[in-house]
Structure formats: structure tokens, C-alpha cells
Chains A and B, each alone.
Chain A
Amino acid sequence: MTRIFFMASAAMVVLTGWAMAAGGAIEGEVAKRSVNYIAIGMFLFFVAATLVLTAWAARRTRSASDFYTAGGGITGFQNGLAIAGDYMSAAAFLGVSGMVFGKGVDGIFYTVGWTVGWPLILFMIAERLRNLGKFTFADVASFRFEQTRIRTLSAFGALTVVVFYLIAQMVGAGKLIQLLFGLEYSYAVILVGVLMMLYVTFGGMLATTWVQIVKAVLLLGGCTVLVILGLAQFGFSPEAMMRAALDNHAAHEEILKPSSSISDPIAAVSLALALMCGPAGLPHILMRFFTVPDAKAARKSVFYATGFIGYFFILAVTIGFLAITLVGTNPAYLDGAGKLIGGGNMAAIHLSGEVGGDVFLGFISAVAFATILAVVSGLALSGASAVSHDLYARVIRNGKASDKQEMRVSRIATLMLGVIAIVLGLAFENQNIAFMVGLAFGLAASVNFPVLFLSLFWKGMTTRGAFIGGLIGLVSAVACVVLGPTVWVSVLGFAAPIFPWDQYALFSMSAAFFGIWFFSVTDRSARAALDKAGYPAQFVRSETGLGAAGALAH
């Protein structure tokens, strides 16, 4: 096992060097930037360090519990950093600062929604999840129900969220690396896919968690330095910084007003719901609650995660306002039409070069790439566990698969997910994929979240209600996206959308909750009686942790 890993790692380093060198030859045709050797050097250093980490983790990953949950031996503080790391994706870092750079205060509307979800997850879900589950959130959702149907539903809920999110990350990675490193798109996508497969198949959750922790520390540290260097240009006066931003932005004081996408009440409520409930249905985030030893550590991890996330978003918003003056007024960063070179999401990257020179630009670019790599690995692991633990071990083998067989299936599933991610990443290169992230969050909020939430709190829920209600959530979320402005108009080219809103969580979540309620209260089957009879035992375990899967690590 170890030998295979070292051979694969050595091949990887050679390949990376080759791809980077090849990138130099094609820079003229695809990329506007020249090859950035400092950035590539720093990134290679990060890759080498994480591969060493993976080799260390591979020696400690023996049982299925090691593989899925790092043996439950991660501390609350470490897990808090890892959760924050999962959450601080490239989209959050570059997207939020880019949104502030372009539109002003709209960015804060998103960051507040993303942060406020965490206290609610803590008060309602975190410890119950830890007390009931073992490896995946489907363990919790199917606790007292008929395994086959609810596991299958939850596994498909998890897989669809993972695949859409994965494609969006892969395409983003390809585009970003093209700009940051002057590397060709296809090399970038393959590089991300192969590194992800290495981390997950060999190092399991332990490697995935530590890669995430290292990246979270680098990202938080890098952003802090970026804000300090930026504010230094204004004599460390936030007031002077904001005054300059108002003077220099083309829209002036208008950037302090919420834009039309937020001023429509239905869109605003829908967006707020998706931002708040989406995270509680994202499988790679929920899985992190099983990596800590008990409910106490689960609570602590949310406490630390909320702190890091809140701090990070304050930095990201500030970076956007800094960039308005320092980047937006410098013709070196603008193309002929006065637009930002490389697109709106590059504001933070340009800012790092402006205030910190080439070395700091290289550092921030490498961190942005590392961010994608770490998030993609977490996604792949949660997708693989849905296949191996939920579908293979529980549904196909009826719980009779051995640890060894289950781990082998999850490794194969990881490789398959890696190949799927690479192929779809290449296929969607020139497609408009903005709707995919929206779809991933919407599906998480309207399939996984309602089933999980009601299974915890409503004793009247039955297998039939959960299954049909979850499907209704799935179908209505997909329908709202396909018939809405992003797909119906932008992708398919029709004149007017059938479903007028971009934000749809209000409708699909209501449909899912109503479906679960209706098909549960009308359920008179023998299975329904069993489902309801199982509630007291589940209730006691979720409230006290009695009988919960404990820490197995040493």
C-alpha cells in the first residue's frame, strides 16, 4: 500500500513539473498571464507537504472508521478549523470579495446568511447528529426507518449535491489556474482530480482533514496580511479606506444600497433560506461531525468554526472595498473596456500583487489553488462514503459487508468520482455553470435538510413520508432551476423563464416539508407503526448520547 502511494506521489510531482513546463509553451494562446514561477514554486511546496501528510495518514488508516471519520479522534478545535476550511471555498474567498468590488454591500448579505446558519446548526442539529450517527448523515436520517428506501434517497441526495458541487469546483479550478499559473485548462483539471484521488484513497478522512486544516490556516493568515497591507496604504484608517472606495467606485454612494437582486422580498427570503439551511444539508460538512469523539467536541467545533468563518467573511468583505481603490483605479489591472483583467473574481488576487509584490501574489495564488484542492477532497470523500457505506454496505449487502470490503468499495468509488469529476470538468469548460452551485445548495436545503430535520424532531414521520417528501423536494428543486432564468433563458436560450425567480428554496423547501408531513400522516401501514415506535429510543440516544459510536482512535 505504502509503496503504491510513494510511486504515485513521485509520478505526480514529475507530472506536475511537466505540466507546468508545458504551460509555458502554450501561454500565448490561452492565458493572459505569463507563467508565474513564484506561485508555481509555492504551490509545488504545498503539494509536496500535503503528500507527506497523506503518507503519514495512510499508515494510520486501517479500519473503516479510520477511513471515514479519522477514527473519531479529531479535537474540537481541529474540527472547527476543518469545518471553516470546507466552508471557505474559493467561491467564498474570490466570489465575496469580487461581489463587493463590483456591487458593494450585496456581499455582506451573503456573508451574514452564511454565518447565521451556524448557531442554528449548533442549537438544533450538531450534538444530535453526533449522538446518532456513525459515518454519514444517512445513518441519522434512516435511524428508525426502513433502511433500503431512506438510505437510497439520502445517498442519492448526497451524491447529486456532491457531483454538482464538484463540477463547479473543477471548472472554477481550471479557469483559476489558467489565470494564476498560466497553465492550460485541461492540465489543471486533471491535476486537481488526480491529487484529490491520492489524498482520499490513501489518506482517508485523516489526510483530508489535515489538508483542510493546513489550508484554512494559510487562507486565514494570508487574508489577514492582505487586509493589513491594504489598510497600511490608507494610514490604517478604515474610514479613509471607505471614503476612497466611495470616491473611486463608478457608482459612488450607490454601492451602499442593496441591489435589485436583494430588494425583491420573495427572492430575498428564498436566498436567506438557502444560505441558512443549505449548510445543514451539505454531506461533506455534516460528515465532519463524526470525526470528533463526542457531543461535547461537536459543540466546540461549531463554536470555533463560527468564529473563524465570521472573521474570514469580515476580511473578505474588507478586501473587496480595499480593491475598489487600489485595484479599480489602476489601469494595469483593467482591460480596454475598463473591466477587471481575468473577470470580477480576480479582485483579491490583483490586490495581493498590488500591496505585497510578486512573492505575496504567488502566495495568495497558491492558497487559492490549495483551497479548491482541499474542498474537492472533502466532497469526494463524502460522495464515496455515500456509495460504499450507504449503498453498498447497507442497501446492497444488507449490513453484512466486512470493514475491508467496505473500504475497498469506497476507494474504488473515490477513483470513479475523480474520473467523473475530470471528465465533466473538461466537458463543461465553456458552459455557464453558475447554476450548479445554486443547484447544489438548493438540493441540500430541499432534500437532505428536511428529511434530516424532521427525522430528528417529528415522531410522526414515517418511511413513506420521508421518501416521497424527499423526492418531491428533489424534483421541485430541479424543476425550479431548469425552468428558471439561469437554465431556461441563459443556457437553453428561451425568451422568458417559466419560473421567474433565480432563488427558489422557499418553494422547494415548502414542497418537501409539506410532502413529508402529508404522506406521513396519511400513512396507515405496518411500517409506519414501526417507524413511530422507534422514536423513543432514538430520542433518548439523541438527547443523552447513550449508545453513541465512540472514539476508536488511540
Chain B
Amino acid sequence: MVPVHEKILANQRFHELVARRNRFSVTLSLIVLAVYIGFVSVAVFNPALFSAPFLGTSAWCVGLIAGFCIQAFAFVMTGIYTLRANGQFDRLAREAIRGGQA
């Protein structure tokens, strides 16, 4: 008897799922990493920009506002992933499993 996982591995839908989900999660990870690396680089290599007044006149500096925004942005990114993974990707996963067990 062929193990279930080998049937699933032979299923086109499974590879479609993995490829799509990986492309999505790698893209989102790279975006988050790029934003974070950008933030750290400004703090290390351009402290003047980091501590410049926000919008030119505010007492709040650019780095602080950017930091708060990145924290909000992290939340939004997890929301985007969860929405798509819990809908579209889980549907594909169910189809892949059914294909493998059939």
C-alpha cells in the first residue's frame, strides 16, 4: 500500500498549494524584514533623520512615529496573511488531502 503522504505528494493540487502559500509568505516576510532593516539602518547610520521633527515642526521625532507605525503595520500584515490562509489556502489544503485519500 502506498502511504497517504506519497499520494498527496503526487497530487498537483498539493504542489499548487505549497507554491502559492510559500510565494505569499516569503513575499510578506521580505516586506516585513525590509521595513525592519530600514528602521534599524536609519537608527544606526542616519541618526539625524531618526531624530528629525516629524513633519518639520512637531516635538515628536520621525523615528518614534515610524516605530509606532511599524507596530501597527505588523498587525495589519498578520491580518492579511491570516485572512488569505484561513480562506483560500485552507480550501486548497482540503482539496489536496481529499485528492490524496481518494
Contact = CB atoms under 8 A, between A and B. Distances in A.
Interface of A: 105, 108-109, 111-113, 115-116, 118-120, 122-124, 127, 238-239, 242-243, 245-246, 253, 256-258, 262-265, 268-269, 272, 276, 295-296, 299-300, 302-303, 306-307, 309-311, 313-314, 317, 536-537, 539-541, 543-547
Contacts of A127: 85
B36 A116 contact: yes
Contacts of B100: 540, 546
Given A112-B36, A300-B86, A314-B68, A263 B47 contact: yes
29 contacts: A105-B51, A105-B61, A108-B68, A109-B40, A116-B36, A118-B78, A122-B78, A123-B25, A123-B26, A239-B60, A246-B59, A256-B64, A262-B43, A268-B43, A272-B40, A276-B36, A296-B86, A299-B86, A303-B82, A307-B75, A310-B72, A314-B68, A317-B64, A317-B68, A540-B4, A544-B17, A546-B4, A546-B5, A547-B4
B67 to A, nearest CB: 4
Contacts of B35: 116
A112 B14 contact: no
A536 B2 CA distance: 13
A268 B44 contact: yes
Given A109-B43, A112-B71, 4 more contacts: A119-B32, A122-B78, A300-B86, A302-B78
Given A124-B29, A540-B5, A306 B40 contact: no
Nearest to B67: A108
Given A112-B36, A262-B44, A299 B82 contact: yes
A238 B97 CA distance: 53
A112 B70 contact: yes
A343 to B, nearest CB: 24
Given A541-B5, A546-B4, A310 B75 contact: yes
Interface in B36-94: 36, 39-40, 43-45, 47, 50-51, 58-61, 63-64, 67-68, 70-72, 74-75, 77-79, 81-82, 85-86, 90, 93
Nearest to A540: B5
Interface of B: 3-6, 8-9, 14, 17-18, 21, 25-26, 28-29, 32-33, 35-36, 39-40, 43-45, 47, 50-51, 58-61, 63-64, 67-68, 70-72, 74-75, 77-79, 81-82, 85-86, 90, 93, 96-97, 100
A492 B59 CA distance: 43
B64 A105 contact: yes
Contact of B59 (A124, A243, A537): A243
A111 B51 CA distance: 17
Considering the complex of A and B, which 8 residue pairs feature the smallest CB-CB distances, nearest first? Answer: A310-B71, A242-B59, A108-B67, A256-B51, A123-B25, A540-B5, A256-B61, A243-B59
A10 B100 CA distance: 56
Contacts of A307: 75, 78
B71 A545 contact: no
Interface of A is mostly: helix
A123 B47 contact: no
Nearest to A113: B36
A231 B63 CA distance: 21
A105 B63 contact: yes
Contacts of A111: 67, 71
Given A258-B47, A314-B71, A540 B36 contact: no
A546 to B, nearest CB: 5
Nearest to B92: A544
A105 B71 CA distance: 15
Contacts of B79: 303
Contact of A540 (B8, B60, B63): B8
Nearest to A313: B71
Contacts of B40: 109, 268-269, 272
B88 to A, nearest CB: 12
A544 B96 contact: yes
A545 B77 CA distance: 23
A120 B71 contact: no
B44 A122 contact: no
Given A246-B59, A302-B78, A546-B8, A124 B25 contact: yes
Contacts of A268: 40, 43-44
Nearest to B83: A303
A246 B87 CA distance: 48
Nearest to A541: B5
B9 to A, nearest CB: 6
